[in-house]
Amino acid sequence: MSKTPAYILGASGFAAGELLRLLHGHPEIEPSRVVSASSPGKPIGELHPHLAAAYPDLLTTSIEECLAGQPPGERVAIFSALPHGFSAATVDDLVSSLNGTDMYVVDMSADFRFEDQFTFEKIYGLPHPAPGRIPDYVCSIPEHSDHTDPRFVAHPGCFTTSVIIPVVPLIKTGHIKHVMVSSVTGSTGSGRDPKPTTHHPVRANNLYSYKPLAHRHTREMEILSGRAGGGQLSVSFVPHSGPFARGIHSTIFARNDNNISTGDLLELLNSYYDSSPFIFVTNSPPRLKDVVGTNNCHISAQADDTTIVLFSVIDNLVKGASGGAIQWMNRMLGIPEETGLKHPGLGWL
């Protein structure tokens, strides 16, 4: 049986590089057209040197060539790793050009994460590029969706993913209504181009918060956790820039109004995610290095008479972006969602 050909949009970014790394050797999906507006016609190894041996003959292409060309197969997988505010229009054009093809889309930008264009425009300060497509999209992590056959998926943000995984079981059981979140993220979360606050000389051997109580993922956390948990949650969120390249470590605080014990919290999390192949509950606080390079999320919990503390670690590029996107695409194509994603952690960096 032939593999499903995949379009990857936004070839030069870290998320696209991770898609290519993870899809190398995938038994069911194969990168076919890797689209770059800034670097068409370039070998993959020129954009991502660590992938040169994996893709010696694959060249990037322009979106214009894709729109003008014939589909690479009767069924097509589309991954968008384009920036917020730009992805939707490009995906819209590509979907329109492929009309009649059996296609599936996972967009990793924020363009389709909200149910109306006005929420997006308020949070991101940009006009929505394709508001007519919004109703077509489902936004969720795979573990929280009851949609069995979506064709268009908006993948949640990396911070959001790290937070909603541990909090949703507690919302469902009525244990929390408000959380305070402190998250530390690696530099790859800021994109490929260095900025004054993300450049290596500033970030190395350093730790600092940014956008405290004003980060744009906050509303996303509230909406998606409330939807999956069947209740309302308010979030106070403070992100931090960490002195490492990849990963997110989130610590989440809530009042222990129901006096739940640590043991009962761990049992609740284990029960909720018992059938989830990528979520692991640890008895002690999880460590970031144990998940880097994988699609896994490690979570844990601690409680005393007044406070609940939840812990969560993910790789922002994998579970928080490209790995989660492949997990979704696997499901949409009707294959086991862990296909091509059971990579062990790197352990030592």
Query: What average pLDDT does the segment 178-184 reach?
Result: 99
Query: What average pLDDT does the segment 167-172 reach?
Result: 98
- Could you tell me the pLDDT band of residue 303, with boundaries at 50, 70 and 90? very high
Expressed as residue numbers, the domain containing 130 is: 4-136
Measured between its terminal Cα atoms, the distance across the chain in Å is: 38
Residue predicted with more confidence, 68 or 300:
300
Q: Are residues 20 and 85 in the same domain?
A: yes
Domain annotation covers residue 338: no
Q: Are residues 123 and 170 in the same domain?
A: no
Catalytic residue among 66, 139, 158, 297: 158
> In the chain, how many domains are there?
2
Q: CA 104 → CA 10, 66, 135, 265, distances in Å?
A: 17, 16, 15, 37
* pLDDT tens, residue by residue, 316-347: 999 999 999 999 999 999 999 999 999 888 88
Q: Are residues 283 and 164 in the same domain?
A: yes
Task: Quote the radius of gyration of the chain (alpha carbons, Å).
Answer: 20
* pLDDT tens, residue by residue, 206-253: 999 999 999 999 999 999 999 999 999 999 999 999 999 999 999 999
Sign of the CA dihedral 188, 193, 195, 201? positive
Q: What pLDDT, on the 0 to 100 scale, is given for residue 194?
A: 74
* Region of residue 146 (left: phi > 0; alpha: psi -120 to 50; beta: else): alpha
Q: Are residues 162 and 292 in the same domain?
A: yes
Cα distance between residue 29 and residue 187, in whole Å: 29
Q: What are phi and psi of 275, to 5 degrees?
A: -100, 10
Domain annotation covers residue 222: yes
Q: What pLDDT, on the 0 to 100 scale, is given for residue 199?
A: 81
Q: Are residues 171 and 311 in the same domain?
A: yes
Q: Are residues 291 and 165 in the same domain?
A: yes
Residue 1, pLDDT > 70, answer no
Q: Are residues 187 and 283 in the same domain?
A: yes
- Could you tell me the pLDDT band of residue 3, with boundaries at 50, 70 and 90? very high
Q: Are residues 114 and 179 in the same domain?
A: no
Domain annotation covers residue 337: no
* pLDDT tens, residue by residue, 13-64: 999 999 999 999 899 999 999 999 888 999 999 999 999 999 999 999 999 9
Domain annotation covers residue 147: no
Q: Are residues 311 and 204 in the same domain?
A: yes
Q: Are residues 86 and 199 in the same domain?
A: no
Q: Is residue 79 within 8 Å of 7, Cβ to Cβ?
A: yes
* pLDDT tens, residue by residue, 108-142: 999 999 999 999 999 999 999 999 999 999 999 99
Query: What average pLDDT does the segment 182-187 reach?
Result: 96
* pLDDT tens, residue by residue, 274-289: 999 999 999 999 999 9
Cα distance between residue 230 and residue 11, in whole Å: 37
Cα distance between residue 250 and residue 286, in whole Å: 10
* pLDDT tens, residue by residue, 57-88: 999 999 998 888 777 778 999 999 999 999 99
Q: Are residues 82 and 203 in the same domain?
A: no
Q: Are residues 170 and 285 in the same domain?
A: yes
Q: Based on the residue annotation, tell me whether 158 is a catalytic residue of this protein.
A: yes
Domain annotation covers residue 47: yes
Q: What pLDDT, on the 0 to 100 scale, is given for residue 195?
A: 77
